[in-house]
């Protein structure tokens, strides 16, 4: 089977429009926001739009969809009001995915804002448990994304993600997304072939490869261990083509969908270039 490849895709004009654009660009996988990523509240999805999305998707070549949650959400916010808003918004994100039939909701664990990593991790797990309790039986997974560890962001070590998963009650609902730019900036050297193998082994030992359900394929504008989150086109950053070749040619990772989050214009033609580069690396 060919590797599932695609990019974060615009939903301008309605969620179902993302399927049209992804099809046009030849994607087999895509990521979308199901609401404006910079707003707390947004009107519910219309039945018509949900049906259009599902029908188009069924008749398309897109075999994998993931939703990315709003950037405002912080599941370990120190401010009580923000924390409450974040939990409500996260619940709403899961509900939107469930309605659209999207199997994964990708999210950044959270930023502890000075409270400390241990407290942050506990609060994130508590938030997830509260929301999971309200959504029993949902098929959508809660997908933790690895982070660059910028500022007070949690999730820049595999151990931190596993600690969160350990504290979640409905653990079968937890999956993980590995963002290449983020892990590289966090200090995991995926560029060097030998070290890449070590990183994947570490992921497998600490979290388990069975939870890895997505890759965010981004090169990094910043150096190894910079702890700064800046995405670059594939091959133009510090990870470079060697790093992406490691991923594209690892047998265990072939079945894991790969999504670009690299800079792009409205037409997303840059995505075509980046996908061509990735495909060209397959040996
Ligand atoms: Zn993200
Ligand atoms: Mn990402
Ligand atoms: Mn990022």
Q: What is the pLDDT of residue 244?
A: 98
Rounded to an integer, the average pLDDT of 38-65 is 96
Average pLDDT, the chain: 98
Rounded distance from Cα 56 to ligand 1 centre (Å): 25
Is the predicted pLDDT of residue 18 greater than 80, yes or no?
yes
Rounded distance from Cα 48 to ligand 3 centre (Å): 32
Rounded to an integer, the average pLDDT of 215-242 is 98
Q: Which residues contact 48 (CB under 8 A, 6 or more apart)?
A: none
In terms of DSSP bridges, do strands 174-179 and 29-32 run parallel, antiparallel, or are they unpaired?
unpaired
Rounded distance from Cα 163 to ligand 3 centre (Å): 22
CA 99 to each of CA 43, 73, 188, 253: distance values in angstroms, whole numbers, following the listed order = 14, 20, 36, 29
Q: Which residues contact 248 (CB under 8 A, 6 or more apart)?
A: 3, 278, 281, 282
Q: What is the pLDDT of residue 189?
A: 98
Is the predicted pLDDT of residue 153 greater than 80, yes or no?
yes
Class of domain 5-280: alpha beta
- List own/partner pairs for 223-226 with CB under 8 A and 24 or more apart: 223/185, 224/184, 224/185, 224/187, 224/189, 224/191, 225/185, 225/186, 225/187, 226/148, 226/185
Q: What is the pLDDT of residue 41?
A: 85
CB 94 within 8 A of CB 131: yes
CB 164 within 8 A of CB 121: yes
Return the H-helix or E-strand segment holding 268: none
Report the alpha-carbon distance of residue 1 to residue 4 in Å, rounded.
9
Rounded distance from Cα 261 to ligand 3 centre (Å): 8
Number of other residues whose CB lies within 10 A of the CB of residue 116: 12
Q: What is the pLDDT of residue 93?
A: 98
Rama region for 157: left / alpha / beta (φ>0; ψ in -120 to 50; rest)? beta
Rounded distance from Cα 179 to ligand 2 centre (Å): 5
Rounded distance from Cα 145 to ligand 2 centre (Å): 7
Share of the chain above pLDDT 90, in %: 97
The residue assigned the tokens 């979290």 is: 207
Q: What is the pLDDT of residues 89-139, one digit of tens each?
A: 999 999 999 999 999 999 999 999 999 999 999 999 999 999 999 999 999
Is the predicted pLDDT of residue 1 greater than 90, yes or no?
no
- Counting ligands in written order, which one lies closest to the CA of residue 231? 3
Report the alpha-carbon distance of residue 143 to residue 213 in Å, rounded.
8
Rounded to an integer, the average pLDDT of 147-159 is 98
Is the predicted pLDDT of residue 169 greater than 90, yes or no?
yes
Which residues hold their Cβ within 5 A of ligand 3, which is an ion? 229
**Secondary structure (3-state) at 68:** strand
**Secondary structure (3-state) at 255:** coil
């Amino acid at each position: 089977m060919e590797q599932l490849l695609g990019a974060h895709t615009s939903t301008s004009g309605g969620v179902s429009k993302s399927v049209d654009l992804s099809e046009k660009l030849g994607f087999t996988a895509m990521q979308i926001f199901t609401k404006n990523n910079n707003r707390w509240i947004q009107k519910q999805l219309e039945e018509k739009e949900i049906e259009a999305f599902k029908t188009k998707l069924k008749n398309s070549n897109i075999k994998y969809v993931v939703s990315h949650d709003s950037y405002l959400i912080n599941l370990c916010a120190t401010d009580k009001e923000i924390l409450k808003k974040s939990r409500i918004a996260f619940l709403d994100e899961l509900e939107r995915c469930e309605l659209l039939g999207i199997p994964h909701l990708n999210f950044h664990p959270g930023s502890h804002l000075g409270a400390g990593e241990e407290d942050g991790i506990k609060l994130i797990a508590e938030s997830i448990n509260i929301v999971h309790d309200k959504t029993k039986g949902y098929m959508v997974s809660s997908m933790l994304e690895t982070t660059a560890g910028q500022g007070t962001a949690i999730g820049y070590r595999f151990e931190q993600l596993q600690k969160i998963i350990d504290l979640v009650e409905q653990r079968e609902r937890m999956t993980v997304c590995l963002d290449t730019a983020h892990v590289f900036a966090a200090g995991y050297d995926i560029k060097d072939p030998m070290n890449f193998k070590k990183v994947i082994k570490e992921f497998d030992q600490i979290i388990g490869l069975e939870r890895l359900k997505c890759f965010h394929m981004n090169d990094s504008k910043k150096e190894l261990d910079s702890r700064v989150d800046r995405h670059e086109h594939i091959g133009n950053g510090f990870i470079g083509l060697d790093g992406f070749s490691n991923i594209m040619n690892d047998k265990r990772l072939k079945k894991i969908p790969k999504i670009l989050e690299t800079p792009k214009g409205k037409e997303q033609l840059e995505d075509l270039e980046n996908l061509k580069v990735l495909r060209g690396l397959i040996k």
